[in-house]
Structure 1
Amino acid sequence: MNGVTHQKWWGWGVEGVAFHHEDKPKLAPFVLDKVGIDLHAPGTPPPAFDDLAVPATRLGDELAATLRRAVGEDYLVTADLDRVVHTYGKGLADLVKVRAGHLPRVPDVVVYPGDEDEVRAVVDAVVAADAVLIPFGGGSNISGSLTPPAEEGRVVVSLDLGRMNRVLEVDEAAGLARVQAGVLGPDLEDQLGARGWTMGHQPDSFRHSTLGGWIATRSSGMQSDKYGDIADITRGLRVVQPGKVVVLRPLPSTSSGPSVREMILGSEGRLGVVTEAWVNVHRVPENREIIAYLFPTWAAGLAAMTEISASDAAPSVTRVSDANETQFSLATQKKSRGVKSKVSKALFAVLERRGWDLDQACLSYIGYEGGKERVAREKAIVGKIVKAHGGIKLGTGPGALYDQKKFDTPYIRDFLLDVGGLADVSETAAPWSKLMDVYSGSVRAAREAFDRLGVKGFIMCHLSHSYHSGACLYFTFAFPPGTDDVEEQLARYWEVKSAVQQSFIDTGATISHHHGVGTDHAHWLEEDISEAGTDVMVALLRGVDPGRNLNPGTLIPAQREW
């Protein structure tokens, strides 16, 4: 009715799209060996929506009338399905809870404003009624930023920006585009691409996340090595706050005191509602290639990425998986036939004769964009570095497959939930000099947590998003919960998740590189940015939102809420 589509209420992505293992003959034996789960055993699909007990809306007539005047009759929704869709993000804990019908608090109403004036009217109405406002983009957040606060008495309003989804203008001379915050990644790129431009920002959640969500969580994309993180891409902003609008012009640089732009980036809705942004855009590149390489060890792959970051090459993607993730990737491949199968077997036989331990081999993907001469020059530079570290080139075939499937990984988590497995991610960033310690510490922490729980667990990692001084490490872990009790499942999940997060702090890394803080990571904020740094953040939030009406409960530790 309102023209806005959403993800499944119980999982990732859209209805009709799911991960299957039947055409991947190596996956079932791999999962059984690593985590002890039999993929051929009967699974437990998500429940029917009608079986959920959804709390009744608490929206009163007066606030309802005010919101209806703000957005129109058709764009104020209190239907149970819409309210449940807006209750959680897509984190592992979110999905476990919603599948179990754990709905202690859901938004009382969802509103769909069509422009900034309507957003202003909604924000002012919510504050005047002392209600709670939670901005909503694509609903793909995995750090607990969308969950309504567990407090009695206050109405919760979910403000869905899905109707505000247009590229408003392009300043071709400056390479800037003015874009509404509710646009999803594919729609944004389609609109820019029709004019010959690209923003180049492609996070894993690209298909189901919005520009406003990227800004609110300080997102990074798979091509951030070239295009920058969203903090680099975002130049100007319009942000609705109670009774006013913050307007930041799209300047290339400025020395106007502490950066208000930086304060809003990563603020997760607590400093207002982003309605539009000016962002850097680039002409669609003449050439684009993703090439796969293979390294003999994780240490060799890390060393190569370090050297590439300091070289004259400027790839758009630099990614290398550890041995565990490489084995997982190979296990998820469809059965190869004919010449392709023979070539793969012959290659691995040659590597074994060279002394490679194929169980330690690490798969890498490196992307190149630009004119023909530039791409050729960068490929030559990278090729020499790869060779110097014992790696080999696999070619564009595996790279093209990675490029095609790069947004599909989250569906695997839903599939594992169906068959009784818990899987989630934790990502961080650290200087090059600390990466191996961070990696070793995190793997050790996860394994020790698995041992404490008495379960067979698995953890894997890849490096992505390289910078001058360091890089992002992205960990994925999985294990069987060993119980059907939802509360116990969540307790066991947090045992593992907390161990990995604490290991980041203990080895000098950050609590999150691009997923944001939310409620899931807030516990470690003071250890990450110091107690004094948290004082600054708390003071900022109090100054803008003294009534705690704007997404309270996220971003700062629970004990620092006032």
Structure 2
Amino acid sequence: MTGVTHQKWWGWGVEGIAFNYRDKPRMAPFVMDRIGIDLSAPGTPPPSFDDIDVPAPRLPEDLAAELRSALGEDHVVTSDLDRVVHTYGKGLVDLVKIRAGHLPRVPDVVVYPGTEEEVRAVVDAVVASDAVLIPFGGGSNISGSLTPPAEETRPIVSLDLGRLNRVLEVDEDAGLARVQAGALGPDLEEQLTARGWTMGHQPDSFKHSTLGGWIATRSSGMQSDKYGDIADITRGMRVVLPGKVIVLRPLPSTSSGPSVREMILGSEGRLGVITEAWVHVHRLPENREIIAYLFPNWGSAVQAMHAISVSDAHPSVTRVSDGNETAFSLSTQKASKGAKKAVQDGLFGFLEKRGWDLDKACLSYVGYEGGSARVKADKATVGKIVREHGGVKLGKGPGALYDQKKFDTPYIRDFLLDIGALADVSETAMPWSRLMEVYHLTIRAAREAFDSLGVRGYIMCHLSHSYHSGACLYFTFALVSRSADMDEQLRQYWVVKKAIQQSFVDHGGTISHHHGVGTDHAHWLEQDISPAGVDVQVSLLQGVDPGRNLNPGSLIPADREW
């Protein structure tokens, strides 16, 4: 037994947890009105694992013997379930394929090293055998970074870092922690909290993603306004390459030529296996609050977020949903009762009398952390900005609910798949000066894609991760597919996904803000960083891994593989 737990082989999260709409009285009418799906109609559940045809492993005995010698018999696994779990991430394309039993190539073996020395032994054995190595953290990737390449002859090894899950030390003077790369978000924070510290990095995948995965994809968390993105948080690293280890000390700044640290960030396993990292940590805040606000429309809400970003306030979270996402969020709330219902009805009635169109109202969450004086000052500054832009304060209640439920949203996607709706996300970042252009033209591009397919669809968006010069826009879209055929479902999906991604690069955005490139976004990489920029990346990857043994197929366009 490896002692490592995984997500469902067919969907998000853990067995026994699923989305349920029946205690949310407004959701079924909302979904019927917007995309014409009856939530009460019987759906198509995921298949039984016994009905999946899993290709037999193609593991040469000499490589298998080397792996068993290095790790021990229990940590070299060839069971069908383990291999399937490590075949895909959790993107929409992954989930459609796994539900269809589409397994053209499955890792031949899954290995679970418990030390950096064992990682080195695995990497060396794989390269010596001219096999393929795919590092695996929590399996939450949604951009195709985990999908095995269509290798017909070379064996494929999935290297699961789940046993490397400890906080090794904390440098209290420097505010740094040395953490093994396989630590999942909850385990990492639990160990830090016991010592009075926090890393503060909380992506939506927090419960099912690892430090190494965050670094490999340049992750951002919802509290990045205060704590920074993972690129800001990560200061030092150890990275295993064939026959050697990159050692980057946790320096506050350096002028040692082109940054190797920056090269590893976002490298998606192509520049080696990250085994541990030094990261910024902070003392647990004295106070932590999430306050909800409501704005009359998207324009005023975005202007308020921009004003907050250049103000003296230092919130931990600045997030606002557009009208479509606000309407969806409200539809997923449980029924209000008693005084709570009276207050909510009274507020909405009051706003309507003031001339608000509640279909355009935008829900916002702002987080505050720190000492009492700091939090009080930040709330006063933000409150003034909210009022100046026509917004109203809803208070701690909705904010606390958001804080409790923020990691559960991905479960909705599995539920929608059961009933024939394909739902996914695309996120981007752009300067403030281009934000509204990217927003409106992307919404239009998605709607034109729905129309071209003759299907009903829905697209919504929220702003998050504010920076000095711009912000992240995070789009969620869904379309109704009446086809049960995998190829047709994916064809329809890609019509919409491509329209959204192309809109990003056409109007000043990047192809991905924090989900990485993988295979799903590689098509647009040259448009994002220029053909010469991809030349530099290819030269770097080829110089480090001339045999294409380290996660080939991810990150760069297929035609640029050597």
* TM-score w.r.t. length of structure 2: 1.00
Q: Which residue of 2 aligns with 1:80?
A: 80
Q: Which residue of 2 aligns with 1:261?
A: 261
* Alpha-carbon distance between aligned partners in 2 of 1:190 and 1:99, rounded to the nearest angstrom: 34
Q: Which residue of 1 aligns with 2:332?
A: 332
Query: Residues 264-343 of structure 1 correspond to what in structure 2 (within 5 A)?
Result: 264-343=264-343
Q: Residue 226 in 1 paired to residue 245 in 2?
A: no
* Alpha-carbon distance between aligned partners in 2 of 1:151 and 1:523, rounded to the nearest angstrom: 20
Alignment-mate amino acid for residue 162 of structure 1: G
**Helix, strand or coil at the partner of 1:359:** coil
Query: Residues 65-104 of structure 1 correspond to what in structure 2 (within 5 A)?
Result: 65-104=65-104
* Alpha-carbon distance between aligned partners in 1 of 2:24 and 2:458, rounded to the nearest angstrom: 19
Q: Which residue of 1 aligns with 2:360?
A: 360
Q: Which residue of 1 aligns with 2:49?
A: 49
* Alpha-carbon distance between aligned partners in 2 of 1:484 and 1:9, rounded to the nearest angstrom: 20
Alignment-mate amino acid for residue 483 of structure 1: S
**Helix, strand or coil at the partner of 1:358:** coil
* Alpha-carbon distance between aligned partners in 1 of 2:56 and 2:487, rounded to the nearest angstrom: 24
Query: Residues 531-550 of structure 1 correspond to what in structure 2 (within 5 A)?
Result: 531-550=531-550
Q: Residue 551 in 1 paired to residue 551 in 2?
A: yes
Q: Percent identity?
A: 79
Alignment-mate amino acid for residue 250 of structure 1: P
Alignment-mate amino acid for residue 158 of structure 1: S
Unaligned runs of 5+ in 2: none
**Helix, strand or coil at the partner of 2:399:** helix
What RMSD over aligned residues (CA atoms) do the two structures have, in Å?
0.4
Q: Which residue of 1 aligns with 2:159?
A: 159
**Offset at residue 482 of structure 1 (A):** 2.2
Unaligned runs of 5+ in 1: none
* Alpha-carbon distance between aligned partners in 2 of 1:33 and 1:150, rounded to the nearest angstrom: 42
Q: Residue 463 in 1 paired to residue 463 in 2?
A: yes
Query: Residues 195-210 of structure 1 correspond to what in structure 2 (within 5 A)?
Result: 195-210=195-210
**Offset at residue 126 of structure 1 (A):** 0.3
Q: Which residue of 1 aligns with 2:125?
A: 125
* Alpha-carbon distance between aligned partners in 1 of 2:481 and 2:257, rounded to the nearest angstrom: 50
Q: Which residue of 2 aligns with 1:432?
A: 432
**Offset at residue 62 of structure 1 (A):** 0.4
* Alpha-carbon distance between aligned partners in 2 of 1:24 and 1:210, rounded to the nearest angstrom: 32
**Offset at residue 36 of structure 1 (A):** 1.2
* Alpha-carbon distance between aligned partners in 1 of 2:455 and 2:32, rounded to the nearest angstrom: 13
Which stretch of structure 1 is more off in the superposition, 188-197 or 475-484? Answer: 475-484
**Offset at residue 151 of structure 1 (A):** 2.1
Q: Which residue of 2 aligns with 1:173?
A: 173
CA deviation string 1:160-186 (max 9, x = no partner): 000000000000000000000000000
Q: Residue 9 in 1 paired to residue 9 in 2?
A: yes
Q: Which residue of 2 aligns with 1:423?
A: 423
Q: Which residue of 1 aligns with 2:521?
A: 521
**Offset at residue 350 of structure 1 (A):** 0.5
**Helix, strand or coil at the partner of 2:436:** helix
Query: Residues 355-504 of structure 1 correspond to what in structure 2 (within 5 A)?
Result: 355-504=355-504
**Helix, strand or coil at the partner of 1:169:** strand
**Helix, strand or coil at the partner of 2:429:** strand
Q: Which residue of 2 aligns with 1:64?
A: 64
Q: Which runs of 4+ in 1 moved over 2 A?
A: none
* Alpha-carbon distance between aligned partners in 1 of 2:219 and 2:560, rounded to the nearest angstrom: 25
**Helix, strand or coil at the partner of 2:359:** helix
**Offset at residue 409 of structure 1 (A):** 0.3
Alignment-mate amino acid for residue 37 of structure 1: I
**Offset at residue 35 of structure 1 (A):** 1.1
CA deviation string 1:397-447 (max 9, x = no partner): 000000000000000000000111100000000001110000011101100
Q: Residue 39 in 1 paired to residue 42 in 2?
A: no
* Alpha-carbon distance between aligned partners in 2 of 1:383 and 1:300, rounded to the nearest angstrom: 14
* Alpha-carbon distance between aligned partners in 1 of 2:110 and 2:313, rounded to the nearest angstrom: 48
Alignment-mate amino acid for residue 325 of structure 2: E
* Alpha-carbon distance between aligned partners in 2 of 1:64 and 1:489, rounded to the nearest angstrom: 38
* Alpha-carbon distance between aligned partners in 2 of 1:333 and 1:54, rounded to the nearest angstrom: 40
CA deviation string 1:281-329 (max 9, x = no partner): 0000000000000000000000000000000001000000000000000
**Offset at residue 56 of structure 1 (A):** 0.2
**Helix, strand or coil at the partner of 1:447:** helix
**Offset at residue 484 of structure 1 (A):** 1.1
* Alpha-carbon distance between aligned partners in 2 of 1:422 and 1:226, rounded to the nearest angstrom: 34
**Offset at residue 60 of structure 1 (A):** 1.2
Alignment-mate amino acid for residue 241 of structure 1: L
**Helix, strand or coil at the partner of 2:222:** coil
**Offset at residue 33 of structure 1 (A):** 1.1
